[in-house]
Structure 1
Amino acid sequence: MDNGTTIVDEESPMSFWTDNIVPVVVTTGCVTLGLLGTLLAVKSQSKNRSEDDPLDDDAENAAAQNAGKNGEVNREKYPGGKLTVYFATQTGTAEAFAKELQREGKDHGFLVRVEDPDTLDSPEHMADRESRSPFGADSKPDEMPRAIILAATYGEGEPTDNSTELFNQMEEYLENDEEGEVNKPLLGLEYAVFGLGNTEYEIFNAMGKFFDTALEKLGGTRVYDLGLGDDSDDLEGDFEKWREGMWATLKKRYVKDGAVVAAESQDGKRSLPDCEYSIRWEEEESVATATYSDQNRASVPLETICASSKHYFTAVDCPVPVVRELRSPEDGGSTVHVEIDISNANIDYQTADNLGVLPCNAQKVVESVAESLGYTQQLDKVFSVVAGTNQDGEEQEWHGLPFPTPITVRECFTRYLDLTSAPHRSDLKLLSSYAKEAADRKTLQHLSSKEGKEEYKKQIVEGKMGLSQLLKLCPSLEIPLEHLIGNVCRFQLARFYTIASCPKVHPESIHLTVAVTKEERPDGSSFEGVCSTHIAGGLDQSLRVFVRPSTFRLPPKISTPILMIGPGTGIAPMRALLQDRKHQFEQEQGEKTMHNVLYFGCKKEELDYIYRDELEGYQKEGILSDLHLAFSRKDPKNKEYVQHILRKNAASTHALLQEGAYVYVCGGVKMGHDVTETLKEILVEESNGSMSQDAAANYLTTLSSEGRFVQELWS
């Protein structure tokens, strides 16, 4: 995590490269539904394309060659039939797991597809026999559609952005079918679920549990037990164990002729894995004029874009006129106040929304990777991405443009490839395929093995080793450009920051509070957070951004009290809320009463008490009724945090809750957990025994569902 206002994990060590068993990978608004019996199709990637669209043939040919006419699948080659993996992801781990299943599928007898749940029109499509039967038109009556759901949870028990629609649809079905009397839309679907979660959060694996239960209630049949992975311990190990059992069960159930021989090289030579993409080199002039280039990205039809890449095309470039250091030079760290000019951008935001920032890799990282792979002379060459072919010469299925093309190699490396995050162990195994020297292959295979798990943790994760460092560790790695894009590197993710401004006060700018990540690796080299470093250097460049709604919303009446708890950069949304409250106070007619309480914490008053002048100014103006401060390093023998101050103010806190106060919490997940536990204790004690711990927990859950208890936390 890059800083206190980042909503999506920035430097997670598990997020590098990231028909019909349908593995759905889901990580941590309602739609109108049609008739349950309606036959639904996937939202076509080719919908609304012009007749001369060069991507049409790529998509159609790929689909035809992979599945044959009428979707038929060769039973000898793929005795298990088609397997569709749906991934719903926020940080890329879910997509990486889905692609891992895709790579393994052929060895187990399945033709595996990977698909984004955001492309589904409705849940029924997973059970649609016409398009989802395992062998297409050649399927037998007893060969039913199948689904495997790999479901991760985002934030406090929420679905990911690209699975929200599917989640809402399923919830609506369940709400309309409380008696279980409605025709089951997923009848005949055979499924299994693995959940990706984190026990550090109050709600563990909510989405995995939801999908496992919902699929059964909607008519599905569970064929393998629910698995629950814990990212605070060994998520990849949990998935590996579940995956092994899952494949064994599926093969026993669906592959009638016994085990499938893995397709490996028989002559002992290296065999590169299949790649989704191929590279077509272009003339340099094509970048400015091409329909799908970066310069023209805003006009690219969404139907031609890979669903998970839409922000690459829709985000807006905005200048950064202000970057100001907030911490004392003596502190040693850096937290910056950033102002982004949106006066010429078509961007609207609400108070304390989230801002997605698409980071750029530092040029020293780009050039290091290029040098190691022999691409230095090609950095300014222009290429386009087209569908690749597998080892049998069949064209791969086209899922849409992954990023704007034509593009230079340098721009691709800078904007769209994650070159800094540490890889999964499974990614190291894949990477070993590209090593020319046996010693390098052995090193990577050992680090990816169960036996090498501790060395992987120490050398790769704790050593913060990204691609640049891996290429030096294993110098014989030779990775073709299309494989670097399609197999080795995960695409660069947006990082989300809670906006620290109110649009009523700052309609032409968005403010951020960013802690700049800079650490020393065990080998003495410097590790820098890719996004925070990019933002902090924003004065000489623009930032590519987009807005995503948050759950921070003020009560409609100014008389309703608010309780804000935001230590460190968790102050960002509280700053925005205070700006909004002041504006509301100044616009209010008649009698004005309000009660705004803030708890802020940092290490030392003289080092990192950020926005001090503003907060004390609000207090003098009467906008901030109470300002409670916790300085954790003031007394090294007695560290005091915001939850300790909150506990001391139990009576006044309980009174605020009784008055209908809205509670806002922003910061680290441990702090959020401690604050929640403190609130429970206060509710129990101040109720004079009339409220139990369970009742207090249920009370906070009710507040959360009503939008009165809002938390944005990160691990």
Structure 2
Amino acid sequence: MNDLFGSDVSLSLVVATGIVTVLLASALAFATMKTGTGSSTKKSEEPKKEAPGPVDREKFPGGEITVLYGTQTGTAESFARLIEREGAEHGFFVHVIDMEDIQVEEMLDDRYKDKESGNARFFFITSTYGEGEPTDNTVDCVAKLREMANIEVIFEEKKDAEPVEEQKLAGIEYGVFGLGNREYEHYNAIGKFFDYAMERVGASRVVELGLGDDCQDLEGDFETWKDTKFWPTLKKLYIRDAAALNRLEAAPHEELPSCSYAIEVYSNPQDAVDTPLEKVHGSSRHYFSSEDCPISTIRELRSKDDPGSTVHIEIDVSKAGNIDYRTADNLGVLPVNQPAVVENVAHSLGYDLNKIFSLKAAEGHEWHGEPFPMPISVRECLTRYCDLTSAPRRSDLKRLSAYAQDPVDKKALLRMSSKDGKAEYREKITYAHFGLVDVLKMCPSISAPLEHFLSFCPLLQTRFYTISSSSVVHPKSIHLTVSVTEAARKDGTVFKGVCSSHLAGLKPGDTVRVFNRSSTFRLPKDTSIPVIMVGPGTGIAPFRGMLQERDHQKNVKKENVGTGVLYFGCKKRNLDYLYEDELASFRKSGALTTLHLAFSREQSEKVYVQNLLSKNAKDTWALIQQGAHIYVCGGVKMGNDVNDAFKHIASEEGNMAVEEAKEFISKLAKEGRYVQELWA
């Protein structure tokens, strides 16, 4: 499916860890740094705040540390918040900062230094976005560090490289934990980059690099690093007073976990305040800047005999002032929870859905910006902003246990949250497709004040879909191709992907909140250059838009349009052959020269797009020699198999050794001639 983001991407991965690693371009294409991230971000201009008052050395004998997070789906931020919550029990006051809200040069400012030692202590928790790219909120930091550290390609470490003459970040102590996925070629490239680059510019590593693998047990990797490396190292380095350590170990645990929010309730309805984006929490800015646009068309693309569903949706953006898309861009969609889910959560926790409230920083806590528009009703908050259906992480279950009144519920939550309880967690949460709404039913004694609930409930993440229309042909309408996620549960109910099910349930006239973000999928400026497109399933999305554009170039603008080859795959021709009539029309008009079809289940031996590529090796190599641009869209496993097929073609038809073929394909990617958009 072509949802690039969130719980509808890969049920098995997301339920297990709460995130998915995504890819929006070839890693090598990123070697020349991107500078724009579309309409989704705005640099904060608000001055950074000091800790609220002088840090009490009795309570925080380790002093102050700063945790910087780079996140795309919110997981790195959630890990940073966990360190923030644990800080006091380990003796540290923890500042948490979105990497978008700090300049590299600012790291030496006095406001970031521990007031007693005078040292600046920065700890990076950062995700790798797809094939070795920084997340949107780390692009500027990565670009500046590349410049300072004289690093050409962010996923290469050259231990024999010439040292950097000016050690601009000397005096900073640091550590890094990286979030990545081994399914991608450049595993954890950004975490490794920060660890390497900071050392090159003079910073001192005080905690060894930690790496988490989303393909296995990302949360477990982080817990191990945090509990065996991070806190023990910091306490050994910064708390030398044995009496202070004894006080920390002897301190009684609070009845309820510390809460970063305080709540203000309104007796009458209130309109949400128009908040400047610089005062908004970094990962929440889409909530404030996206636009409500009406659905004009929605239709099913698969046969009624196919148990699955893929819907074609057309969104009218004619009145959206902030949406100016280009062909093959990505559309961010803000999902909405179903009313029944919202009502079940409110019932479990005893919330009045009509209550109007605002949040502010609790005493002794820093304010990180508005998480959503306020004042707001509980109903609106739970519907639009709280992730109630994704599987909670094990750390979330541990935190929930503090709110369980029944010892049986508390014990169950603690057991599943422990390292020894991984198997039970997988059985009762992962494989059962249980979200927070289900955990509240499973453990009915959980009782959390609203401000506490909002401090630990993750925010609903934007889902990104590759746009399947041409901005030239349809400038006022954005088309999406959405595979609807559903999975049967053991109890007979059905788990539904929050965003795809929301979209599939809309009718013409209903609205959806959206914004667009740029992509690296761009047709060659020279229309005569051949293109090879590989997109099985909903990977067809960008190529539908690109073919619409090629058809316009050829038959309306009368331009010389080069050879166009498309590899499309699905299960069976009569079940899920998406856009069959349109592809036939593109062939007739000359926008598409050759169409190769892989129907995987129409014969005893499964056939996939990579098999057809290998079969057509000579023709493919001839097009590459003519300067063809290659585009691949779909699942990461397919993308890896297709990449291997192209390497094999280069090796066999180009008479190259294996390593030469690998370098050749990498060179194409660096030149922007081999571009991928994959999801795990």
Q: Deviations over 1:240-270 (max 9, x none)?
A: 111122211111111111435458884x8x7
Unpaired stretches in structure 1, ≥5 consecutive residues: 19-27, 33-41, 48-58, 293-299
| 1:125 counterpart residue number | 106
| 2:643 counterpart residue number | 676
Tell whether the 8 Å contact from 1:279 to 1:386 is kept in structure 2 after alignment: yes
Quick one: structure 1 residues 175 and 202, their matched pair in 2 at CA, closer, same or farther if it must change by over 3 Å? same
Does the residue aligned with 1:320 lie in a helix, a strand or coil? Answer: strand
Q: CA deviation at 1:127?
A: 3.1
Q: Structure 2 residue aligned with 1:704, among 669, 673, 679?
A: 669
Mapping of 1:549-568 within 5 angstroms?
Answer: 549-568=518-537
Quick one: structure 1 residues 682 and 176, their matched pair in 2 at CA, closer, same or farther if it must change by over 3 Å? closer
Does the residue aligned with 2:15 lie in a helix, a strand or coil? Answer: coil
Q: CA deviation at 1:13?
A: 2.1
For the pair 1:520 / 2:488, whether they are aligned, the reply is yes
For the pair 1:168 / 2:137, whether they are aligned, the reply is no
Does the residue aligned with 2:320 lie in a helix, a strand or coil? Answer: coil
Tell whether the 8 Å contact from 2:69 to 2:97 is kept in structure 1 after alignment: yes
Q: Deviations over 1:561-587 (max 9, x none)?
A: 000000000000010111111112235
| Aligned residue type for 1:656 | L
| 1:193 counterpart residue number | 176
| Aligned residue type for 2:120 | P
Mapping of 1:415-564 within 5 angstroms?
Answer: 415-487=384-456, 489-539=457-507, 541-564=510-533
| 2:554 counterpart residue number | 585
Tell whether the 8 Å contact from 2:164 to 2:201 is kept in structure 1 after alignment: no
Tell whether the 8 Å contact from 1:109 to 1:260 is kept in structure 2 after alignment: no
For the pair 1:338 / 2:313, whether they are aligned, the reply is yes
| 1:6 counterpart residue number | 4
| 1:607 counterpart residue number | 575
| Aligned residue type for 2:226 | R
Quick one: distance in 1 between partners of 2:108 and 2:6? 32
Quick one: distance in 2 between partners of 1:542 and 1:199? 38
For the pair 1:625 / 2:593, whether they are aligned, the reply is yes
| Aligned residue type for 2:235 | K
Quick one: distance in 1 between partners of 2:417 and 2:249? 20
Quick one: distance in 1 between partners of 2:421 and 2:667? 46
Q: Structure 2 residue aligned with 1:368, among 307, 326, 344?
A: 344
| Aligned residue type for 2:541 | A
Tell whether the 8 Å contact from 1:17 to 1:427 is kept in structure 2 after alignment: no
Q: CA deviation at 1:336?
A: 0.3
| Aligned residue type for 1:228 | L
| 1:353 counterpart residue number | 329
Quick one: distance in 1 between partners of 2:530 and 2:375? 54
| Aligned residue type for 1:229 | G
Does the residue aligned with 2:402 lie in a helix, a strand or coil? Answer: helix
Quick one: distance in 1 between partners of 2:480 and 2:664? 33
Does the residue aligned with 1:384 lie in a helix, a strand or coil? Answer: strand
Q: CA deviation at 1:283?
A: 3.7
Q: CA deviation at 1:173?
A: 2.1
Tell whether the 8 Å contact from 2:468 to 2:481 is kept in structure 1 after alignment: yes
Does the residue aligned with 2:134 lie in a helix, a strand or coil? Answer: coil
| 1:144 counterpart residue number | 119
Tell whether the 8 Å contact from 1:275 to 1:486 is kept in structure 2 after alignment: yes
Q: CA deviation at 1:209?
A: 1.0
| 1:215 counterpart residue number | 198
| Aligned residue type for 2:358 | S
Mapping of 1:381-400 within 5 angstroms?
Answer: 381-389=355-363, 394=364, 396-400=365-369
Tell whether the 8 Å contact from 1:5 to 1:572 is kept in structure 2 after alignment: no
Quick one: structure 1 residues 582 and 261, their matched pair in 2 at CA, closer, same or farther if it must change by over 3 Å? farther
Q: After alignment, is 521-530 or 180-189 more displaced?
A: 180-189
Quick one: structure 1 residues 98 and 224, their matched pair in 2 at CA, closer, same or farther if it must change by over 3 Å? same
Quick one: structure 1 residues 240 and 656, their matched pair in 2 at CA, closer, same or farther if it must change by over 3 Å? same
| Aligned residue type for 2:446 | L
Does the residue aligned with 2:420 lie in a helix, a strand or coil? Answer: coil
| 1:286 counterpart residue number | 270
| 1:255 counterpart residue number | 239
Quick one: structure 1 residues 278 and 698, their matched pair in 2 at CA, closer, same or farther if it must change by over 3 Å? same
Tell whether the 8 Å contact from 1:30 to 1:169 is kept in structure 2 after alignment: no
Q: CA deviation at 1:222?
A: 1.1
Quick one: distance in 2 between partners of 1:494 and 1:261? 43
| Aligned residue type for 1:6 | L
| Aligned residue type for 1:331 | D
Q: TM-score, normalised by structure 1?
A: 0.87
| 1:81 counterpart residue number | 63
Quick one: distance in 1 between partners of 2:191 and 2:279? 30
| 1:322 counterpart residue number | 297
| Aligned residue type for 2:336 | C
| Aligned residue type for 1:203 | H
Cα RMSD for the two superposed structures: 2.2
Does the residue aligned with 1:225 lie in a helix, a strand or coil? Answer: coil
| 1:56 counterpart residue number | none
Percent identity, aligned pairs only?
Answer: 51
Does the residue aligned with 1:701 lie in a helix, a strand or coil? Answer: helix
Does the residue aligned with 1:78 lie in a helix, a strand or coil? Answer: coil
Tell whether the 8 Å contact from 1:17 to 1:418 is kept in structure 2 after alignment: no
| Aligned residue type for 2:442 | L
| Aligned residue type for 1:499 | I
Q: CA deviation at 1:559?
A: 0.9
Q: Deviations over 1:299-325 (max 9, x none)?
A: x31122111111100000000011110
| 1:685 counterpart residue number | 652
Tell whether the 8 Å contact from 2:561 to 2:591 is kept in structure 1 after alignment: no
Q: CA deviation at 1:175?
A: 3.4
Quick one: distance in 1 between partners of 2:106 and 2:430? 39
Q: TM-score, normalised by structure 2?
A: 0.91
Q: Deviations over 1:429-476 (max 9, x none)?
A: 111011011111100000000110111111111111111110111100
Tell whether the 8 Å contact from 2:551 to 2:590 is kept in structure 1 after alignment: no
Tell whether the 8 Å contact from 1:602 to 1:609 is kept in structure 2 after alignment: yes
Q: CA deviation at 1:30?
A: 6.3
Number of residue pairs the alignment of both structures matches = 647
Q: Structure 2 residue aligned with 1:656, among 623, 634, 639?
A: 623
Q: After alignment, is 407-416 or 95-104 more displaced?
A: 95-104
| 2:114 counterpart residue number | 134
| Aligned residue type for 2:93 | L
Quick one: distance in 1 between partners of 2:319 and 2:445? 48
Q: Deviations over 1:544-563 (max 9, x none)?
A: 00011111011111110000
Quick one: distance in 2 between partners of 1:401 and 1:238? 30
Tell whether the 8 Å contact from 2:332 to 2:516 is kept in structure 1 after alignment: yes
Unpaired stretches in structure 2, ≥5 consecutive residues: 21-29, 37-41, 153-160
Quick one: structure 1 residues 481 and 631, their matched pair in 2 at CA, closer, same or farther if it must change by over 3 Å? same
Quick one: structure 1 residues 264 and 97, their matched pair in 2 at CA, closer, same or farther if it must change by over 3 Å? farther
Quick one: distance in 2 between partners of 1:447 and 1:536? 34
Quick one: distance in 1 between partners of 2:246 and 2:562? 70
Does the residue aligned with 1:694 lie in a helix, a strand or coil? Answer: helix
Q: CA deviation at 1:191?
A: 1.1
Q: Structure 2 residue aligned with 1:665, among 618, 628, 632?
A: 632
Q: Deviations over 1:580-623 (max 9, x none)?
A: 11112235457x34100000000000000010000011111221
